[in-house]
Structure 1
């Protein structure tokens, strides 16, 4: 489901809530103010290489680096820079709006910058499992914090100016049965994708140029 118009936040939040009820996800070509996206990109490029770490799979004792599954690097957002604070505030407004509209009980939000170098990818996975996963034709990988059943809503904001067809790095979203491709989403500047974490397997296709985003998750109260 795509939406092309930038609207006032109340109308925007209405549209997001409706999409989550109707189909479980939404793709917004421009949701956040362009000035905020610009500030986030500037912040991203001001970070040093050592600020990023290689992303892994699993959690705690099960955590491991597996470059056959994913090859991105990450840096968690913090409340210590104006652009990061503004982004987290916007997401908290969305959290409150969805709680009012859908009674989702969203408690908090966590997110990180994700940097994909040339040739990087992330194989098909789910961000959270509400219950033991059904048997699929191919086993799904587990994302870094997938073991917490508290993840319920995933977001991705893209920070890639002038992304062109052929640059790769698309987000491919599958249906709940892992049988059909629902969307192949180019990581274009300012685009925001929101989807139910437990419902949609997804992958990041091989990037043919550097690709940047902010990946995040709204959580409900639950075991860690």
Structure 2
């Protein structure tokens, strides 16, 4: 399928066609320098302002009536994007263009995108989890955009992507010989401008403990806003 290139996403380090091909073939994609340094710096400054003025909230797990905070599982603080700043508006416009291309390529029926800043302080982590569960039909595609300049490998804080469950069983529901539950697909450094995209229902993932403050924007393209007749709005 022919797609139009998204403005402001540097073609020399990654492109939309490569992302679509990777999602079709393996379900995830690492896109270096997907956002410009200028936009990342503006978003980082905004997130730092929220941190300095105590406008970040301890993150929880689950949604709706099952939402809870558990510091043994997750320790980051968040603030949902509302599109009120120029930097947020520009970022959300780029995500809207990606949403259009995902729909055209895969007929996903995506019509909503929700995202929040996530700040991890020294020692913070997020244990292995799924962003959505099969049959829920809410969060379909996950994006993570990193805002950390000059990140060093020794600082930790990597995103670890694990094999999807469907890759760990064959037609007879037996694990193939090559499957390794303890072997990750990728360990990704949270470097400024990098975007990671993956299918929300398929890939367990985690954030390893960080040794430096670590900032990202986590987002989800959603398929619908209701479940069994019950409204399920973004965040």
**Taking structure 2 as the reference length, what is the TM-score of the superposition?**
0.82
- Name the counterpart of 2:174: none
Using the TM superposition, give the Cα deviation of residue 15 of structure 1 relative to its aligned residue in structure 2, in angstroms: 1.6
Structure 2 residue 1 is matched with structure 1 residue 13: no
Partners of 1:34 and 1:160 in 2: CA distance: 10
Using the TM superposition, give the Cα deviation of residue 28 of structure 1 relative to its aligned residue in structure 2, in angstroms: 0.8
Unaligned runs of 5+ in 1: 132-147
- Name the counterpart of 1:214: 217
Structure 2 residue 160 is matched with structure 1 residue 172: yes
- Name the counterpart of 1:203: 206
- Name the counterpart of 2:27: 24
| Bigger Rg, which one | 2
Partners of 1:51 and 1:118 in 2: CA distance: 19
- Name the counterpart of 1:121: 125
**Taking structure 1 as the reference length, what is the TM-score of the superposition?**
0.86
- Name the counterpart of 1:144: none
Structure 2 residue 94 is matched with structure 1 residue 106: no
- Name the counterpart of 2:145: 157
How large is the Cα RMSD of the aligned pairs? 1.8
- Name the counterpart of 1:81: 85
Instruction: Give a deviation string over 1:199-223, Cα, whole Å, max 9, x none.
Output: 1000000011100000000000242
Runs ≥4 residues deviating over 4 A = none
Using the TM superposition, give the Cα deviation of residue 61 of structure 1 relative to its aligned residue in structure 2, in angstroms: 2.3
Q: 1:90 aligned to 84, 91, 94, which one?
A: 94
Unaligned runs of 5+ in 2: 1-8, 169-180
- Asked if structure 1 preserves the Cα contact closer than 8 Å seen for 2:37 and 2:192, the reply is no
- Asked if structure 2 preserves the Cα contact closer than 8 Å seen for 1:13 and 1:98, the reply is no
Using the TM superposition, give the Cα deviation of residue 117 of structure 1 relative to its aligned residue in structure 2, in angstroms: 0.5
Mapping 1:178-197, distance limit 5 Å: 179=181, 180-197=183-200
Instruction: Give a deviation string over 1:36-95, Cα, whole Å, max 9, x none.
Output: 112111221222442110001122222211100000000001121000111001000100
Q: How many residues align?
A: 203
